[in-house]
Amino acid sequence: MRIFKAVAVVGITATLFACQATQSQQNISNQQTDKPKNVIMVVADGMGPAYITAYRNYRDNPNTETVEPVVFDDILVGTATTYPASVSGYVTDSAASATALAAGIKTYNGAIGVDVNKQPVRTVLHQARLNGMKTGIAVTSQIVHATPAAYVAANESRENYNQLADSYYDDRINEDFILDVMLGGGQRFFERSDRNITGEFIDAGYQYVDTYNQLATLTEPTRVLGLFAPVAVPWALDDSRANRLEYMTRHAIKHLENANGFFLLVEASLVDWAGHANDISSAMAEMHDLALTIQLLRDYVRDNPDTLVVLTADHSTGGLSIAADGEYRWSPEFLHSMQLSVPTMVEALPATDDWVGLVEQGFGFKLSEAEQDLVLSIDTSSSSWEQQGILNDIIDARTNTGWTTSGHTGEDVGVFSFGQGAERFSGAQDNTAIATKLFDLLGTQVRGEQNQKHGASSVKQEEVSDEGANTCSFKDSWRC
């Protein structure tokens, strides 16, 4: 078992001039008064600056002369760089960037809560737990995906989903679980042939739910494990609750509120997945769920002003452009009629002879003859990725949306903040500075010790069994 102890160091410089000492005391006083009781960190995975602009245009009322602002606009306070440790170049993956946001250190792409030497690091969520705060996560991916895992666990590779799920149960802070509330997807990683972690959490006193409606039945604050899908939850366009991130966030807060405060990580995970797929319709639907979540949090901070909310992206995805091919046009009105996600339409093709009718129903508009020919040209023996590409090309042509890549891009991202201590996050900064500022707000005192059974330096890559909880190939699928 690897044991981590943090040490608080207080330095006093006795040689300062009196005026400098007075100013220093004033700064310390100001910093002490802006420390929040509750911290809510929101990561919009893959949400580069173009996504904010696209969402604003998507929500615009075309009957007015101006483009109306959206919930993000008046809380923008700064920017953040996103590059990983130099060994991984200039373009980050979600694991390295989440570790930077969570722990304030640069690391290599693929690293979960470890430094470049594969040694575990303390995160702001760990610090909150050490301070006696309740902690939770609410995400739309599997809860052991790169971003949430980097705040909670330590592993040399983001691919080791089974080991990460084990860590959620096995790792301890002050001899207690690291998380009080866990909401998202990931059943297959917690209910495996070799271990039933869900059952272990139930035996430890957690309430387990696997539907959104069941979550609503937990009316009294309690510890909760909510896993609503085998991997990620369905796309917002397909889910029984299009506002599922807002819904999970609301219920997470209900179960976390207490006299000592709480730390909640929220991730709009599937913005990134839509970007990888170059799927503008799902990207805007996921952004709308995020916007509803931020509005919920703004209302919460209005009623609970001792709460801090920080929103940023870990990187941008897809190289989204609002217009393409030299044409000065973007037409988001076609996105408002979408009834199904593109992946769901592709999955349904083999079950029907009326492909054009299926796609028209999913798109919510009639196809031109040229578009019908594209649909009929789909080869269902080809990869799902290729089939989705044909349908996404139709939407991109209609809206005049452009993409440069199916991967990540390296530009700076926006930083948004409101609530107590929000002013600390203004200006241009590195993504590691966000964690540094949160550590400062949380304080560096330690009330106990952090024990992690799965130290990253001893972790081995998992074999993929036939039943394979970890069936992802990172060479073939960005969903990993």
Q: Give the tokens for residue 334.
A: 């076609």
The total number of residues written for the chain in this structure: 480
CA dist., res. 252 & res. 135, Å (int): 9
77-111 residues labelled b (16+ CB within 10 A) or e (exposed) = bbbbbbbbbeebeebbbbbbbbbbbbbbbbbbbbb
378-399 residues labelled b (16+ CB within 10 A) or e (exposed) = beeeeeeeebbbbbbebbbbbb
The residue behind tokens 């075309």 is 62
Q: What is the DSSP string of 124-169?
A: HHHHHHHTT-EEEEEEEEETTSHHHHHHH--BS-TT-HHHHHHHHH
From residue 334, how far is each of 69, 284, 286, 365, 412 by CA, in Å? 20, 12, 16, 8, 29
Is the CB of residue 128 less than 8 Å from the CB of residue 450?
Answer: no
- Of 270, 225, 242, nearest to 46 by C-alpha is 270
DSSP assigned state of 318? T
Q: Would you call 271 exposed, middle or buried from its count of C-beta atoms within 10 A (0-12, 13-18, 19+)? A: buried
94 tagged catalytic: yes
Q: Torsion over CA of 285, 286, 288 and 290, rounded to 10 degrees? A: 170
H or E stretch including 106?
none
From residue 34, how far is each of 28, 167, 319, 441 by CA, in Å? 10, 34, 37, 8
From residue 244, how far is each of 174, 193, 231, 458 by CA, in Å? 32, 29, 15, 37
Distance of CA 14 to the CA centre of its chain: 45
Q: Give the tokens for residue 140.
A: 């739309």
Name the catalytic one among 88, 94, 157, 417: 94
324-333 residues labelled b (16+ CB within 10 A) or e (exposed) = beeeeebebe
CA quadruple 471, 473, 477, 480: dihedral sign: positive
Secondary structure of residue 50 in the 3-state scheme: helix
Q: Strand 207-209 to strand 450-452: parallel, antiparallel, or no bridges (unpaired)?
A: unpaired
CA quadruple 421, 423, 426, 429: dihedral sign: negative
Kindly list the catalytic residues.
Answer: 94
